C-alpha cells in the first residue's frame, strides 16, 4: 500500500485524493491518499513532513501556503523546483528529501494534450506570482517566447532576469506592466496566472487590443471574466482543471514509477 498526503491550509476543498484514487484504480495500485491540515507556521509544516516520511509515507503534495517552505526544507530539487523556488511534490530519495514542482510541466502537458503546440510560439503570461514562476521554465523548455505582464512591473522584471540564462538560440523573454495600453498585439497563447479571479477583481482587458488564439486561465471551477473576454474574441478557451490533473499525474508517476493513461479516466464528476 502506498501512503500519500496533500498538505495545505485550508485543505478540505482539495480534490487531490479523488484524482489520485482515479490514477490508482487505472493502474491497479493500492493507495491511501489523505488530506493533511497543517497550522500556518514553518515549524509545524516541517514537523508534519518529517513525521509523514518517518512513518513510511511515500509521497506528499504541498499546496497553499506551504510551497516556498517545502522548497526550503528539501535536500535536493528538480530543475523546475529550483527555478520556481517552490515545491508541490515531495518524496524521499536515498533517504534525502527531494522536491519537485510539477505545476508548470502540468500546464505544458495539458496544453499539449489539447493540441496546442508551444515551440517558437509567442506566449503572454499575466501575473508574476508562484504559479507564473513555476510555468516559465517548462514553457521555455518547449521553445516558446514569453512575455510576462504583471501589475507590479518590478516582479515581472525580476522573473525575466532570473530566467534569462535559460534561453536558447533566438528565444525571447521579457517583462511588461499589466495595463490596458500594453495588452496589445497577437499572441498564440495568453495564460492568466494572476489571482485576480479568486477575489473577483477584473484584469485591465476590457479595452485592450490583445488578440490570442488560445486563452488559458489557471483558475478552475468558475467562468472567469478573463475567459469570458477571450470567448468573445473567438479565442479557444480553457480553464486550469486539466493543469490540476496533469500536475497530479506527474507527481503520481514520480512516486510510483507507473505511467497513468488519462484516456481511461473520466474526471467530469470532479471538474
Supply the residues annotated as catalytic. Answer: 67
- Binding residue for ligand NDP (CB under 6 A) from 142, 157, 195, 208? 195
Query: How many other C-beta atoms lie within 10 A of the C-beta of residue 13?
Result: 9
Quick one: which of 21, 117, 171, 198 contacts ligand NDP (CB under 6 A)? 198
How far apart, in whole angstroms, are the C-alpha atoms of residue 113 and residue 121?
16
Please give the residue whose beta carbon sits closest to ligand NDP in the complex: 129
Query: Smallest distance from the beta carbon of 56 to ligand NDP, in angstroms?
Result: 28
Verify binding: residue 137, ligand NDP, rule CB under 6 A. no
Contact track, ligand NDP, 90-119, x by CB under 6 A: -------------x----------------
Q: Decide: is 62 part of the binding site for ligand NDP (CB under 6 A).
A: no
Dist. CA 180–CA 111, nearest whole Å: 26
Cα 166 to Cα 154: distance, rounded to the nearest angstrom: 20
220 binds ligand NDP (CB under 6 A): yes
- 65 near ligand NDP (CB under 6 A): no
3 contacts ligand NDP (rule: CB under 6 A): no
130 binds ligand NDP (CB under 6 A): yes
Closest contact distance (angstroms) between CB of 259 and ligand NDP is: 20
Contact indicator for 100, 110 with CB cutoff of 8 Å: no
Q: Judged by CB under 6 A, which stretch of 17-25, 39-47, 71-79, 217-225 contacts ligand NDP? A: 217-225
Please give the C-alpha separations between residue 223 and each of 93, 108, 218, in angstroms, as whole numbers: 40, 21, 12
CB atoms within 10 A of CB 206: 10
For β-strands 2-8 and 31-37, DSSP reports them as: parallel
Give the 3-state secondary structure percentages of the chain, helix then strand then coil, rounded to 5: 40, 25, 35
Q: Does 129 bind ligand NDP (CB under 6 A)?
A: yes
Q: Using the rule CB under 6 A, give the single segment among 44-52, 148-156, 164-172, 255-263 that binds ligand NDP.
A: 148-156
Cis amide linkage into residue 65, ω under 30° from 0? yes
Identified binder of ligand NDP from the candidate list 74, 97, 128, 251, rule CB under 6 A: 128
Closest by Cα among 184, 177, 70, 183 to 134: 70
By CB under 6 A, tell whether 178 contacts ligand NDP: yes
Q: How many helices (H) and strands (E) does the chain have?
A: 9, 12
Among positions 155-174, residues that touch ligand NDP (CB under 6 A) are 155
Residues that bind ligand NDP (CB under 6 A): 103, 127-132, 150-152, 155, 178, 193-198, 201, 203, 218-220, 240, 243-244, 247
Amino acid at each position: 500500500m502506498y501512503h500519500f498526503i496533500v498538505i495545505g491550509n485550508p485543505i478540505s476543498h482539495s480534490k487531490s485524493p479523488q484524482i489520485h484514487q482515479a490514477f490508482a484504480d487505472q493502474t491497479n495500485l493500492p493507495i491511501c491518499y489523505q488530506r493533511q491540515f497543517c497550522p500556518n507556521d514553518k515549524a509545524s509544516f516541517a514537523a508534519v513532513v518529517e513525521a509523514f516520511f518517518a512513518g513510511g509515507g511515500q509521497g506528499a503534495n504541498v499546496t497553499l501556503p506551504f510551497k516556498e517552505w517545502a522548497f526550503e526544507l528539501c535536500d535536493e530539487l528538480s530543475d523546475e523546483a529550483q527555478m520556481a523556488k517552490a515545491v508541490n511534490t515531495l518524496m524521499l530519495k536515498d533517504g534525502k528529501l527531494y522536491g519537485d514542482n510539477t505545476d508548470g510541466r502540468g500546464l505544458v502537458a495539458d496544453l499539449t494534450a489539447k493540441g496546442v503546440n508551444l515551440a517558437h510560439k509567442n506566449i503572454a503570461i499575466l501575473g508574476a506570482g508562484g504559479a507564473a514562476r513555476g510555468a516559465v521554465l517548462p514553457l521555455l523548455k518547449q521553445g516558446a517566447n514569453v512575455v510576462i505582464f504583471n501589475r507590479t512591473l518590478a516582479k515581472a522584471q525580476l522573473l525575466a532576469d532570473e530566467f534569462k540564462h535559460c534561453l536558447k538560440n533566438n528565444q525571447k523573454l521579457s517583462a511588461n506592466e499589466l495595463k490596458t495600453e500594453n495588452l496589445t498585439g497577437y499572441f498564440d497563447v495568453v495564460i492568466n496566472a494572476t489571482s485576480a479571479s479568486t477575489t473577483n477583481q477584473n484584469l485591465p482587458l476590457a479595452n485592450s487590443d490583445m488578440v490570442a488564439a488560445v486563452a488559458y486561465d489557471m483558475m478552475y471551477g468558475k467562468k472567469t471574466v478573463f475567459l469570458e473576454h477571450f470567448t468573445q474574441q473567438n479565442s479557444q478557451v480553457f480553464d486550469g482543471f486539466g493543469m490540476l490533473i496533469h500536475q497530479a499525474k506527474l507527481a503520481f508517476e514520480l512516486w510510483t514509477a507507473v505511467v497513468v493513461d488519462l484516456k481511461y479516466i473520466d474526471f467530469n464528476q470532479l471538474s
